Amino acid sequence: MRQRIFFRLLAVFVLGIAATTITLDLLIRPAWEDSLRQEIDRNLRQKTAMVANRINTDHSYALADVVSQESHASGTRATVIDARGKVLADSEVDAGSMENQIHEPEFAAALKGEVASRTRKSTRIAATFQCVAAPVAGGAVRLTYPLSDVEVATATLRRSLMWGTLAGLAVSLAMAAIVAQITVRRLRRVVDFASRIAAGELTARISDSSADEIGRMAAALDRTAGQLEQNFAALDTSRRQLETMLNSMQDAVIAVGADDLVLWANQPMNKLVPQRTRLNAPVVETVRDPDFLQAVRGASESRKVYTARAASILPGRTFDVTAAPMPGGGAVAVLRDLTETERVEKTRRDFIANVSHELRTPLTSIQGYTETLLDGASENNHSRDFLEIIRKNATRMSRLTEDLLTLARVESGEQRFAMQPVMPGELLQEAVQSFREVARTQNIELTVEDSAGAATVSADAEAIHQVFSNLVDNSLKYAASGRRIVLGAQPSPRGIEFYVRDFGPGIPFEHLPRLFERFYRVDKARSRESGGTGLGLAIAKHIVLAHSGTIRAESELNHGSTFLFTLPLASTTEQPA
């Protein structure tokens, strides 16, 4: 890193110095040369004017002596010509040997009365001269100054620029090394900080108090690290709280990634499987139950909640599995042990069934003996009233035990249903036919509104007739004031939806969720008067559930009630010929 920064800085310095040197050489040097040439030309003009003045005024010396003296004094070569261009005197060469100078530009201008100058290059000696000519009486005088001093000065300037450039490069080399060392030291602290943060050391800081860009960057990184430390601390606290909460649950929880690898499991899950849960291992190595695996994969792939019943995770134990998708892929599954619950439920059902069965015989005896006593009792005897009460309650208890036995058989699955394709209209007409006389005696109109066309449902006709019997009987007892009950069937997304609608007083909203519970009554006093057992809707519910259907109730006060249940459509292979 240090070498890269050093060479980059050195390259920047070299480019800067080179640019400065080139600028000086291309712009400053020509201007300096021009200025020097102009200064030489001014001085030469002044000297030429002085020489011309002496030639015109000083007649005490010969012209050759004057030319020689002035040439020596001014450090130039002096030449005098007459009006026809003939050389009269020259400070360096014999005048007689020189050619006519009438065609020289500076002499031609001087003979016209002007002071003229010209830069002339000599090919013979490869030198450059500055010439200035001025008019004199009967001719002109010219001073010639060699420009070799200018070229020497220019060469000296270039050497100075070269040495200055080399000195600048040496200083740049030292500065680049120093700056690179300082910058690298600071950047290494930043890199070390980043490495420590990447390794999870969120307490790392740079602590660079400089005000330059690296210092501001270091301050920003320190603030970011502080915020990350706070966020990770809060996240770790939340994770620990969640882990503690999940470990304190009685239910087993396991998280599975999209690649079917175990991500996490709580302590009940570890205790549940004999080999304990192996993290980052395929979930099938921990739980081999196919229903469990299907629920987990289904939730992960479809991004929906899946439920299943797993009976092979542990011998003799049953688990309810609920798998929900996780945001990052995969699923989390909760396993609830239903073994004890099912055992208690089975014990309860068996108890109810056994008690009901045991009560049937004594209740039948009580009814029989009571009816026998009633046949022999006189009309005016008070004992007849007591016997009638006994018979009535014995009959009610007999109905209650029969309903309890029916409900227990349906719940436990002992009652087998003979599923056959049945037309909805047949089920509706049979229900109406059974209750038509009862409804007529109570002045209630019983009609079929719709029969769902030619569709067929898969159902046990006798069991569905019992559902209709319970629903219609319920409407006759509690909604007789509406004077009308309507039965019907209509297509629905789940099959065919049947309904029994009355126009009685309706049911308060808060009672609707509990209508299908055992012994639940909206109006307990009225139920006792009507002789109901409180089990009719519960029996209807379990029969419909056994048919893979659903049942519900809709009601509004003073606008009647509607009980609806759905039955699945019969499959193609079940359709009657």
Domain CATH code at residue 492: 3.30.565.10
Residue 424: name the closest of 445, 397, 454, 404 by CA. Answer: 454
User: Does some domain include residue 170?
Assistant: no
Single out the residue in 306, 337, 368 at which a domain terminates.
337
For residue 487, the model assigns a pLDDT of 92
Q: Which of 63-67, 123-127, 139-143, 497-501 has the lowest mean pLDDT?
A: 123-127
More confident residue, 209 or 70: 70
141 plus 7 within the same structural domain = yes
Strand-pair partners of 87? 81
User: Does some domain include residue 329?
Assistant: yes
Single out the residue in 126, 152, 178 at which a domain terminates.
152
Mean pLDDT, residues 46-66:
86
Give per-residue pLDDT as tens, 414-458. Answer: 677 888 899 988 899 998 888 888 888 888 888 888 777 778 898
Burial of 355 (0-12, 13-18, 19+ CB in 10 A): middle
427 plus 569 within the same structural domain = yes
For residue 577, the model assigns a pLDDT of 39
User: Does some domain include residue 180?
Assistant: no
Secondary structure class of 310 (helix, strand, coil): strand
In whole angstroms, give the CA distance from residue 7 to residue 11: 6
**What are 304's two structure tokens?**
């929906």
352 plus 240 within the same structural domain = no
Mean pLDDT, residues 238-256:
78
Q: Which of 165-174, 462-471, 494-503, 557-566 has the lowest mean pLDDT?
A: 165-174
570 plus 446 within the same structural domain = yes
- What number of other Cβ atoms are within 10 A of residue 32's Cβ? 15
Residue 548, sorted as left (phi over 0), alpha (psi -120 to 50) or beta, turns out to be: left
Q: Write out the H or E segment, with its range, that includes residue 248.
A: none
For residue 123, the model assigns a pLDDT of 64
User: Does some domain include residue 196?
Assistant: no
Residue 289: what are its φ and ψ, rounded to 5°? Answer: -65, 125
More confident residue, 239 or 497: 497
- The pLDDT of residue 43 is above 60: yes
- The pLDDT of residue 528 is above 70: no
- Containing structural domain, residue 227: 207-248
In whole angstroms, give the CA distance from residue 294 to residue 306: 9
How is 11-73 classified by DSSP, letter by letter? HHHHHHHHHHHHHIIIIIHHHHHHHHHHHHHHHHHHHHHHHHHHHHH--SS-HHHHHHHHHHH
439 plus 569 within the same structural domain = yes
Residue 349: what are its φ and ψ, rounded to 5°? Answer: -65, -45
Residue 133: band (very low, low, confident or very high) from pLDDT cuts 50, 70, 90: very high
36 plus 105 within the same structural domain = yes
Residue 563: band (very low, low, confident or very high) from pLDDT cuts 50, 70, 90: very high
For residue 500, the model assigns a pLDDT of 92
Mean pLDDT, residues 543-565:
88
Chain-wide mean pLDDT for the chain? 80
**Is residue 224 within 8 Å of 206, Cβ to Cβ?**
no
Q: Which of 210-214, 304-308, 505-509, 556-560 has the lowest mean pLDDT?
A: 210-214
Residue 464: name the closest of 507, 501, 498 by CA. Answer: 498
For residue 550, the model assigns a pLDDT of 92
In whole angstroms, give the CA distance from residue 544 to residue 538: 10
**Is residue 418 within 8 Å of 394, Cβ to Cβ?**
no
In whole angstroms, give the CA distance from residue 46 to residue 40: 10
- What number of other Cβ atoms are within 10 A of residue 93's Cβ? 11
In whole angstroms, give the CA distance from residue 258 to residue 329: 5
**Type of residue at 258:** A
Buried b (16+ CB within 10 A) or exposed e, 514-552: ebbeeebbeeeeebeeeebbbbbbbbbbbbbebbebbbb
Residue 408: name the closest of 472, 362, 354, 363 by CA. Answer: 354
Residue 523: band (very low, low, confident or very high) from pLDDT cuts 50, 70, 90: low
Domain CATH code at residue 400: 1.10.287.130
Mean pLDDT, residues 112-139:
83
Domain CATH code at residue 43: 3.30.450.20
Helix axes 148-198, 213-247, angle to 10 degrees: 10
Mean pLDDT, residues 74-79:
87
Alpha-carbon torsion (482, 485, 489, 495), positive or negative: positive
391 plus 484 within the same structural domain = no
For residue 7, the model assigns a pLDDT of 66
Give per-residue pLDDT as tens, 287-336. Answer: 888 888 888 888 888 888 988 888 887 787 888 889 999 887 889 888 88
Mean pLDDT, residues 489-494:
88
Single out the residue in 337, 352, 387 at which a domain terminates.
337
- The pLDDT of residue 19 is above 80: no
User: Does some domain include residue 188?
Assistant: no
Match 């519970």 to its residue by tokens. Answer: 517
25 plus 145 within the same structural domain = yes
In whole angstroms, give the CA distance from residue 451 to residue 433: 15
321 plus 349 within the same structural domain = no
Alpha-carbon torsion (444, 449, 451, 452), positive or negative: negative
**pTM of the model as a whole:** 0.47
In whole angstroms, give the CA distance from residue 427 to residue 566: 13
- The pLDDT of residue 565 is above 90: yes
User: Does some domain include residue 30?
Assistant: yes
Residue 572: band (very low, low, confident or very high) from pLDDT cuts 50, 70, 90: low
User: Does some domain include residue 304?
Assistant: yes
The number of domains in the chain is 5
How is 464-526 classified by DSSP, letter by letter? HHHHHHHHHHHHHHH-GGG-EEEEEEEEETTEEEEEEEE-SS---GGGGGGTTSTT--SSHHH
Pairing of strands 445-451, 484-492: parallel
Give per-residue pLDDT as tens, 397-407. Answer: 777 777 677 77
User: Does some domain include residue 308?
Assistant: yes
254 plus 128 within the same structural domain = no
359 plus 333 within the same structural domain = no
Mean pLDDT, residues 21-47:
75
For residue 267, the model assigns a pLDDT of 81
More confident residue, 417 or 485: 485
For residue 29, the model assigns a pLDDT of 66
276 plus 375 within the same structural domain = no
Instruction: Give Cα separations from 564 to 195, 272, 498 (angstroms).
Output: 67, 42, 6
Residue 498: band (very low, low, confident or very high) from pLDDT cuts 50, 70, 90: very high
